[in-house]
Structure 1
Amino acid sequence: MNKSKERQIRSLPSELTTRAEAETEEKIIEGYFAVFNSETELWPGAYEEIDPAAFNDSISNDVRALINHDTNLVLGRTKSGTLQLRVDNRGLWGSIKVNEEDSDAVNLYSRLKRGDVDQCSFGFTILEEETEFREDGTIKWRLKKIDLHEISVVTFPAYADTSVHARKADYERDKKRMLESKKNQLRERLKNGVKTTNAGEEN
């Protein structure tokens, strides 16, 4: 299913780490900013997971690394080589070179090193996904293709209210489509059943 290009944010507890290059002593922040095939609960009964191929078409985008999704607090950028991204079997991994002349970046590095901050998010738009209404009454979306805009190191990872609101609108729309599809299938079965009955009576 193709999707509208509404910007979304997803967050997760991560294993972000800090290190300093031995030769240059350059400070690095790195870790996974998204994990594949792992269900995240958006609200009770609604789940989402990322397909391993979801980033394939956007991994080469000009992506920014931000602090708390603030476009004024840029940690790195793929275009300048200060942010490196790659996809492996586990998820989307990123490495950020800290600008030591940027006090916000240095302070964030210190907080990560102390363990005060260890969370992350990514901003994107959904291009393609699959929707599954499960027998237990829950729904799951599987993100098949997304357009990645930015990754962020965040203080409190949470689904933004706007993203949850958008997902709930998706839920209502998808549920309506599913019910319409079931009604159409029932009509077809009844129609074919009537035809079969009439044909049998004529014989």
Structure 2
Amino acid sequence: MFRFCSILLLALMPVAALAGPDGRLRVIDGDTFEIAGQTVRLHGVDALENGQTCTTDQGTLWECGAWTTQEVRARFQGRYATCEQVDIDRYNRVVARCAVDGNDMGRTIVRAGLATAYRRYSMAYDLDEKAAAVAAIGIWSAQFTAPATFRADRRAANQQGTAAPTENCIIKGNISRSGRIYHMPHNRDYDRTRINPANGERWFCTEAEARAAGWRAARN
């Protein structure tokens, strides 16, 4: 009976995090790194994608996705990180909690307004996100689409046969009677817009690139 209870108790205990990769890190984007030859995705954190833009209170478009990657790179590139593995995701990345100099990377990034708390998987950084939002720092100083929504919009476009040439070049440069107009995933006509290179239409990686080429933003 004692042996049975001991086995049951062990089965009910939470599974401890596994030792993850440790080493100098290379920043891939705001929540993803390469450490010791492995790709590591921070647990409980969701950063904007590199192709995302934000709109400031003045109505100015801001390449905030690329900005967050640059800011995270400035803080952590080349520094030594220690990680605890939580899971392996569908892309075969190690999902882990990581620390640099004893400071939780996820908490540092979210508190600085460089990413959102990924509440679907963890509430660990909920208060850190709320503090950044109240202070209107980082991405919270502008309007943006939640990273998960942005990715869902992109997947929907791919499923409808309008896949971009690369995962970061998803802006559609369309030519119509109204002129040269570029469409972002959140725009009304994004999904039904088709790109025909033979007609001079093209894909863009950033809004700045589209504007420099002579395209203007869709109004809806």
Q: TM bucket by the smaller chain?
A: under 0.3
Between structure 1 and structure 2, the one with the greater Rg is: 1
Query: Which one has the bigger strand percentage?
Result: 1
